[in-house]
Amino acid sequence: MSTSPSRSLDTFANPNVGRDYVIDFDCPEFTCVCPLTGQPDFATIRIQYIPDQKCLEMKSLKLFLWSFRDEGHFHEAVTNQILDELTTACAPRWMRVVGFFNVRGGMRPIITVEYPDPMTGDRVSPPVDPLRS
């Protein structure tokens, strides 16, 4: 397995597919770049999910999050993109991604996104990744 940043996400079979349980990851060293200023943005990204058939492999998740470090993203966009790519990779029963971004201009943005959408309660299919079909 590579040790370079990568958007490739590896999974493994859920060892307890008949039970709902939460897997919780914290990445306190997430970085991306502000698309307007080019300055680095720092955040803790928290990923919580209930797996269905597949679980996310931790090293590939680390390299996936690392792959955003030199890219320009608004906080809202990158948090949503992370959720979309993770749900595509593992099709969880439920997932929440929270971006706790560092203070900027005296305010700390905290972005929370969930799958399925908590506003409607609908379980929608994760986006299809044409490279994985």
Catalytic annotation, residues: 34, 41
Centroid of chain to Cα 28: 13
Q: How far apart are CA 41 and CA 51, in angstroms?
A: 30
DSSP letter (8 states) at residue 94: E
Q: How far apart are CA 48 and CA 2, in angstroms?
A: 25
Host H or E run for residue 85: helix 75-90
Q: How far apart are CA 82 and CA 86, in angstroms?
A: 6
SS3 content of the chain, % helix, strand, coil (to 5): 20, 35, 45
